[in-house]
């Protein structure tokens, strides 16, 4: 299901953590890596050359949203995501299952797939495992994801978690059978909620389906970090050690570093861009909340220690003003800064793994975060 | 009322049209020039370095909006507009009168000034001629405008137009008396609606108040282009020939070229950025309406003849998609393109004046526009 030209090479280790190189048809990704979220094929307000300058290597787009608008046939006609958008490097597409069930009204999940009313035109849509593979093949992403049924950890409803985990496996098998593109990775998704035995079963069965890349699903949905760590470690014990691992949708800087320490290779999260739009900046000194009146006439850079294009040219006072006035330049500049923070954090993680110092970096970041409160 | 360090030098002529150099405390502006509108101190979505690369020389900010948010005291504390924003070059600020009377509910104009309820906090505000000068002094703009009472041409209510024109003159006198900054231009504003005699009186009286720069107010509000041209020419016959002239708030490319041919030196308009946000692009072949389905999979540059950063990297199909999806990158990229069109148009106008070919350029642009319909 994945062509032989695609490879994942592990280049260094520090405990469970590792550095690696993920090869794709549109270039290589040094891991562990953070993938900025470009839902509709664009990071809100930020241009591709700016993302590259900030250290982005691979972007994440949303299969479901692109299927709705502009439609995969438009993107295929323009040369796939790398031809259609201005980002010529690697793209990962999520399968859309999470968005369908969380965004669409009256979504219904059955064995066939997900049935829902399109929020764009209200018409009935069915997303199946085979359909999600076909859409992603047309989008021409470098990493495709299987359609999964994502359910959070819920000890009170073990039967539901088990049923969704088992259905995800049956869907994964159908997706693997449908997948044809030799130039595209297809990752399986491990589910199992917060139940270690179920995670273990899910990981083992997903591995046995022959996937060469894997994701952790259903995490970052409110569970305790310690439980999440246990779920990740349990799955990793079953997954092939030389396959790339992706922790979907997480999270705060400390969450990423915990994942890196456990051997996760890929991350994505909307937090840096969403926080940016709300005027919350990640800095070397912790979170900086621009809405605080103390920054009204503060002409210092958002983070004097930061090397991003925003901090080089603009002040806290100006960013605060733009965000309060609803000027889109504010969201753009703040997003670029926060993405640089995340991308720089993963650069530091890769360097720390090479130096055998990842544990110290993780502890430093987690401690800084604790000082900030809930973020 | 204007320091001797400020100068306007005419460098070339073609009929009534002229090229010139407007010197300000933050640099010189080659005229005729178009000023991108940065209402809150930022062009929506577009960064200062991009504006400079597109050929912008001077930006226009709104006194009234900046007074409401963040307040002129914040901007003054950060070094004025050139220190507060990322645009270190010249700034022009309009006086705010037009916005106050058009945006604020229950605005009341009397001899003292304009009284209105703030749309931000609902509190009562009074904007006087002296107050507008003081706010602009604090903002540190390079060109300040007097507070005027802006009324459109209305033959059915000649008394109202006359009263507003006369009040504008009394306010201009108060503004000139209040103005202190030797490093800031203060422009008077000619009113008079569509009445040539009233325009003549207004221009003469404004000149006699000693202003060294002038603006045409109350135009571009629905009158016929021929009448507007007549109003401009009538005023120019009374104004000092060596003073800069600014046509406020206009307009389409043909409107600008008509103004240039009449000897106008400065222009501003929200049209390029507003059109951009609505997916209407100015191109060498006329208007391109991106919402048209024919562009859905069109991977050509928006204008293959354009040298802007958007056309170098992005397709019609991608821009169309971003705008339809409400992705702010779309508005940003389209705005940059349309601004480059306007700024490039004025570059061509300056070159045409030097070559004695402005009439041909004006006719070409007006003809292209006629083909597009109402725009």
Residue of B nearest to A41 (CA): B322
pLDDT at A303: 98
Q: How near does any CA of chain B get to the CA of A316, in Å? A: 10
Q: What ipTM is given for this predicted complex?
A: 0.95
> Average pLDDT for residues B78-105, to the nearest whole number?
88
Confidence category of residue B152, pLDDT binned at 50, 70, 90: confident
What CATH superfamily is the domain A8-269? Queuine tRNA-ribosyltransferase-like (3.20.20.105)
pTM of the model: 0.96
Q: Please tell me if residue B101 touches chain A, with a CB cutoff of 8 Å.
A: no
C-beta neighbour count of B38 within 10 angstroms: 26
Task: List CB contacts of B290: < 8 A, sequence separation 6 or more.
Answer: B279, B280, B281, B302, B316, B319, B320, B323, B334
| Residue B116 pLDDT | 86
* Mean pLDDT (chain B, rounded): 94
Q: Where are the domains of chain A?
A: 8-269, 276-366
pLDDT at B72: 98
Contacts 24+ apart (CB under 8 A), B133-138: B133/B175, B133/B178, B133/B179, B133/B186, B134/B178, B135/B63, B135/B66, B135/B67, B135/B72, B135/B96, B136/B63, B136/B93, B136/B95, B136/B184, B137/B179, B137/B180, B137/B181, B137/B184, B138/B72, B138/B73, B138/B75, B138/B76, B138/B80
- When pLDDT is averaged across residues B22-49 and rounded to a whole number, the result is 97
Q: What digits encode the pLDDT tens for the residues A151-200? A: 777 777 899 999 999 999 999 999 999 999 999 999 999 999 999 999 99
Q: Phi/psi at A236 (nearest 5 deg)? A: -60, -35
A344 touches chain B (CB under 8 A): no
**Three-class secondary structure of residue B91 per DSSP:** strand
| Chain A residue whose CA is closest to B327 | A44
The strand pairing partners of A31, in sequence order, are A20
Instruction: Tell me which residues of chain A, numbers 300 to 339, contact chain B at a CB-CB cutoff of 8 Å.
Output: 313-315, 317-318, 320-322, 324-325, 327-333
Query: E strand or H helix at A45, and its extent?
Result: none
Average pLDDT over residues A30-56: 97
Does A134 lie at the interface with B, CB-CB under 8 angstroms?
no
B328 and A332 in contact by Cβ < 8 A? yes
Residue A373: the pLDDT is 62
Q: Mean pLDDT over residues A354-369, rounded?
A: 96
B153, B223 in Cβ contact below 8 A?
Answer: yes
Distance from CA of B46 to the nearest CA of A (A): 6
- Tell me whether strands B213-216 and B185-190 are parallel, antiparallel or unpaired: parallel
Is the CB of residue B151 less than 8 Å from the CB of residue B193?
A: yes
Bridge partners, B147 (sequence order) = none
Query: In the structure, what pLDDT confidence band is assigned to residue B180 with cuts at 50, 70 and 90?
Result: very high
């Amino acid at each position: 299901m994945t062509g032989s030209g695609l490879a994942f090479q592990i280049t260094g280790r520090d405990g469970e953590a590792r550095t690696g190189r993920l090869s794709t048809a549109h270039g290589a990704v040094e891991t562990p890596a953070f993938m900025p979220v470009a839902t509709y094929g664009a990071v809100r307000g930020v241009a591709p050359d700016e993302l590259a300058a900030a250290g982005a290597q691979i972007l994440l787009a949303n299969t479901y949203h692109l299927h709705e608008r502009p439609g995969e046939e438009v993107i295929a006609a323009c040369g796939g995501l790398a031809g259609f958008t201005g980002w010529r490097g690697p793209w990962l597409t999520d399968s859309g299952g999470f968005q369908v069930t969380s965004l669409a009204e009256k979504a219904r999940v059955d064995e066939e797939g997900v049935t829902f009313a399109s929020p764009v035109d209200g018409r009935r849509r069915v997303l199946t495992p085979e359909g999600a593979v076909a859409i992603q093949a047309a989008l021409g992403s470098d990493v495709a994801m299987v359609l999964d049924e994502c359910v959070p950890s819920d000890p009170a409803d073990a039967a539901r978690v088990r049923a969704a985990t088992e259905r995800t496996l049956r869907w994964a098998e159908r997706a693997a059978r449908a997948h044809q593109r030799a130039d595209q990775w297809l990752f399986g998704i491990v589910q199992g909620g917060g139940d270690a035995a179920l995670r273990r079963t899910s990981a083992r069965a997903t591995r046995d389906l022959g996937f060469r890349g894997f994701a952790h699903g259903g995490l970052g949905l409110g569970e305790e970090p310690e439980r999440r760590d246990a779920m990740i470690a349990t799955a990793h014990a079953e997954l092939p050690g030389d396959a790339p691992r992706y922790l979907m949708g997480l999270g705060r800087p400390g969450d990423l570093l915990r994942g890196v320490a456990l051997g996760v290779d890929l991350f994505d999260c909307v937090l840096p861009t969403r926080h940016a739009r709300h005027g919350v900046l990640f800095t070397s000194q912790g979170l900086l909340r621009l809405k605080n009146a103390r920054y009204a006439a503060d002409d210092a850079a958002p983070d004097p220690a930061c090397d991003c294009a925003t901090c080089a040219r603009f002040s806290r006072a100006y960013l605060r003003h733009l965000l309060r006035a609803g000027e889109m330049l504010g969201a753009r500049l703040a997003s670029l800064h926060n993405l640089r923070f995340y991308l720089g954090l993963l650069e530091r993680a890769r360097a720390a793994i090479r130096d055998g110092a990842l544990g110290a970096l993780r502890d430093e970041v987690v401690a800084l975060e604790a000082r900030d409160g809930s973020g």
